[in-house]
Amino acid sequence: MCGRFVSFTIGEGLTSALATVPGLPAPAIDLTDISKPNWNTAPTQQIAVVTVGEGLQEELYAEQTIVRPMRWGLVPSWSKSLPKTPMFNARGETAPEKPSFRAAFKRRRCLVPMDGWYEWKPGGKNGAAEGKVPYFTHHPDGALFAAGLWEVLSEPKSGTDLLSCTIITTESVGQLTWLHDRMPRILLADEAERWLSAEPQDARELLHPTDEEFVAQFQVQEVSRRVGNARVNDPELIAPVGEQDTLL
């Protein structure tokens, strides 16, 4: 699963990263006003989400790459209220058919930019630690793009629309299987545009686990248990254990 992630590639850094993704219209337009990195992104928070000329304001941004702010935790368009448990993940194996996600899968697929994510392992890697040990997983080359789904909930009383999203997860592969049996579906560069624009049947072909050779390049490091508190938000959270005293 993916219940916490890190996002420090924002603003111009994110639009520059998007410009390198094959097939995406460039330059990207950032509508988020997100000005600070988030070292401990948690469900229900506002995050940056990437779409291409689809849905809201498409008359202004047709066929352009758009970065929009959305609530992390998808709210189906037919909902009468916010779900009691935020739907921040969607299983790739069932998302196309599950009532909460199937409409979004057909017409509202997105990219969720992140610079890595946290996962907790009971007992740690060797099973000898007390309690759950947090680990930070990231790629040395920079920003990642996870497959996601998004929705719009119309709110006539307020006159505004609630934009929300979820992150697709699949089985873990390769070196990450020891950490957790699930992981975000991280898209390779040549998969990202296809995920956004393909017909639903073609998009289903991307619901397999992330390429194992790519996963082999990830770095996994034990980090401070401070990350368990969603109110704690600083760059020291991703420092490997052993470097904490130097940075704090």
102-124 tens-digit pLDDT: 999 999 999 999 999 999 999 99
Of 243 and 109, the structure prediction assigns the larger pLDDT to: 109
Q: Per-residue pLDDT averaged across 24-52, rounded?
A: 94
Residue 246 is predicted with a pLDDT of 40
CA–CA separation, 228 and 75 (whole Å): 25
Q: Per-residue pLDDT averaged across 142-160, rounded?
A: 87
Half-sphere exposure in the Cβ direction for 14 (13 Å, CA): 30
Mean pLDDT of the chain: 92
Residue 54 is predicted with a pLDDT of 60
pLDDT over 80 (residue 3):
yes
Half-sphere exposure in the Cβ direction for 93 (13 Å, CA): 6
Residue 2 is predicted with a pLDDT of 85
Q: 225: Cβ–Cβ under 8 A, 6 or more apart, which residues? A: 133, 134
Q: Per-residue pLDDT averaged across 130-156, rounded?
A: 94
Per-residue HEC secondary structure of 46-100 comes to EEEEEEECCCCCHHHHCCCEEEEEEEECECCCCCCCCCCCCECEEECCCCCCCCC
Residue 154 is predicted with a pLDDT of 84
Closest Cα partner for 109 from 46, 196, 198, 203? 196
192 — pLDDT class (breaks 50, 70, 90):
very high
Of 146 and 242, the structure prediction assigns the larger pLDDT to: 146
pLDDT over 80 (residue 213):
yes
Residue 114 is predicted with a pLDDT of 98
CA–CA separation, 248 and 243 (whole Å): 9
Q: In this predicted model, what pLDDT tens digit does every residue of 66-111 receive, in sequence order?
A: 999 999 999 999 998 888 999 999 999 999 999 999 999 999 999 9
Coil vs helix vs strand at 172: coil
58 — pLDDT class (breaks 50, 70, 90):
low
Residue 85 is predicted with a pLDDT of 92
Helix (H) or strand (E) holding 218: none
Q: Which two tokens stand for residue 102?
A: 């199937």
Give the type of residue at 43. Answer: P
Half-sphere exposure in the Cβ direction for 229 (13 Å, CA): 8
Between 42-46, 59-63, 209-213, 239-243, the lowest mean confidence (pLDDT) is in: 59-63
Residue pair 236/244 in contact by the 8 Å Cβ criterion = yes
Q: Per-residue pLDDT averaged across 127-154, rounded?
A: 95
Residue 248 is predicted with a pLDDT of 40
Of 161 and 164, the structure prediction assigns the larger pLDDT to: 164
Residue 243 is predicted with a pLDDT of 56
Residue pair 90/183 in contact by the 8 Å Cβ criterion = no
